Amino acid sequence: MTKKKVLSDFKKKSQKEIERQMNDTFNLIKPKFHPPLDPGFRPPVLANRKFQEEVAASGEGVPLVMALERSDEAVSRFETRVYHEIHPRARASLAYAERIFKFLLWSRGGWRAYIGGPRSIGEHIAECYAPKGSRSYDYHLMGESVFGKTFEVVICRPSEVPEAREKGHRIGRHTDGCRIGFDLGASDRKVSAVIDGQAVWSEEVIWEPQVQTDPEYHYREIMTALRAASLKLPRLDAIGGSAAGIYVDNTVRVASLFRRVRDADYPRVRGLFLRIADEIGVPFEVANDGDVTALAGSMSLEDNGVLGIALGSSEACGYVDLEGHITGWLNELAFAPVDYSLQAVEDEWSGDFGCGAQYFSQQAVFRLAPKAGISVPEDLSPAERLKFVQDKLESGHKGARRIWESIGVYLGYAAAHYADFYDIKHFLILGRCTSGRGGEIILAKAREVMASEFPELAEKIALQLPDEKSRRVGQSIAAASLPETKGTGTFRALNVPVPFTEGENP
């Protein structure tokens, strides 16, 4: 099979048809453990490892080197092997490489990609990740929205791919003084008053930021939370925040919290936290909620190599490496594939299928509930809908238990998949979906999968939950440690600058 034949066969069909027919060339492996409510689930880790075994056995594998460059000139690099271009199974290499690239793009981040290996693979990825390609969402968001550049794919030889240039740095871990920490999720906002690293007060309030078109709603809700916490402190030295999305120097790059804000009003969103910091006048820092998840785990465990995921309205991920550094990677695994099944659910944003957000979040609960015989009222808020199903679980509903068992199976295979890209000692899960009995069910099933399917990893990676209190407000407490203090604070209580009642929509 020639390189021209490999590509022409793919171009005769739509990209969606190609993806849905991946098993024509790329073997999807049936797992030993089936999610009770999702028997079609096909874990990437099994397919990828099988592919590598087949390439090695053929004796005809060639190098494939991929690298992603970020705006600070940091470069992440990944090396693997594929079939050469004229091998009878060369098309399997295209499917394998695109799924690996997709994972790398959302775990590492980057605006310029280097594909060093068979040219047909580079051309296939360039065609997918183009302005009108099947991955146009990734193209526009990763280039223009996140890095402010035009996304590009450079096709080259393996020897021409840049070497890795990682730029890890330490964040947080400042526990001195009187601080406020907040955590902004899509269903609830949490805030804690913290004195010398100990939470003296915490609050959790349901809100609906994703449906609000006016950024003043977000501003007022955040200020209401901060004022409530400030009343519990003798003074205020610093404020740290955790929020879903991508943030650089306290500016909003991309965040689902503001998804309904009109384009004309988005400049007010970008500078929202700068405005708040300027008005309050104490050291202020906001970070991605996934990074704060990992930071919270690292601080509580007093160890590094922590991959933390928060199962909330979506899947928030963060990573603290073996040296205790935040890597500068995006770690937006909500968009990374964790299911290669041809029947996997599509992501509502990107149109891709089998992405993490649909497997490790309340979206997974809502998706599986009908299969468990549970009809969830549509007139409830997302947080109320989740609690509705959780109440079924707590009361002993067998179908509800199968929902969390299914998530546990997903997690066991995903943990092994993530370990192919991260050095992990501790895999920490938290978030609203892990509250109550659900967290223990997820953890027990994931550990069972790991021990049976991946015993070598089960010995090295500790899958664990924080305690119940930390599980719900741990991120806001860790967020309080983000900024360094510059001296004694002077504020005793903050004022909300416009008339506003807590919980009221403007």
Q: Where are the domains of the chain?
A: 3-160, 302-474
> CB within 8 A of 25, min separation 6: which ones?
89, 91, 92, 94, 95
Quickly state the pLDDT bin for 228 (edges 50, 70, 90).
very high
**Is pLDDT at 504 greater than 50 in this prediction?**
no
pLDDT of amino acid 420: 97
pLDDT of amino acid 501: 38
Quickly state the pLDDT bin for 450 (edges 50, 70, 90).
very high
Name beta bridge partners: 202: 192
Name beta bridge partners: 25: none
Q: What's the whole-number mean pLDDT along residues 166-177?
A: 87
Contact 403, 37 (CB under 8 A): yes
Contact 105, 182 (CB under 8 A): no
Protein fold of 302-474: Nucleotidyltransferase; domain 5 (3.30.420)
What are the distances in angstroms from CA 87 to CA 3, 5, 102, 326, 466? 9, 11, 24, 41, 49
What is this structure's pTM? Answer: 0.85
Longest Cα–Cα distance in the chain: 74
pLDDT of amino acid 24: 56
Rounded distance, CA 491 to CA 296, Å? 26
Task: Tell me how far apart the terminal alpha carbons of the chain are, to the nearest angstrom.
Answer: 63
% of the chain at pLDDT higher than 90: 69
pLDDT of amino acid 10: 44
pLDDT of amino acid 505: 35
Residue-wise pLDDT for 376-394, tens only, equals 999 998 889 999 999 999 9
pLDDT of amino acid 248: 82
φ and ψ at residue 340, rounded to 5 degrees = -95, 5
Residue-wise pLDDT for 19-56, tens only, equals 555 545 788 999 999 999 999 999 999 999 999 999 99
What is the Cα 277 distance to its own chain's centre?
A: 26
- Tokens encoding 223: 């200020």
**Is pLDDT at 120 greater than 90 in this prediction?**
yes
Q: What's the whole-number mean pLDDT along residues 489-500?
A: 47
Q: What's the whole-number mean pLDDT along residues 86-101?
A: 93
Mean predicted lDDT score pLDDT of the chain: 89
Contact 420, 45 (CB under 8 A): yes
- Tokens encoding 270: 């970008």
% of the chain at pLDDT higher than 70: 89
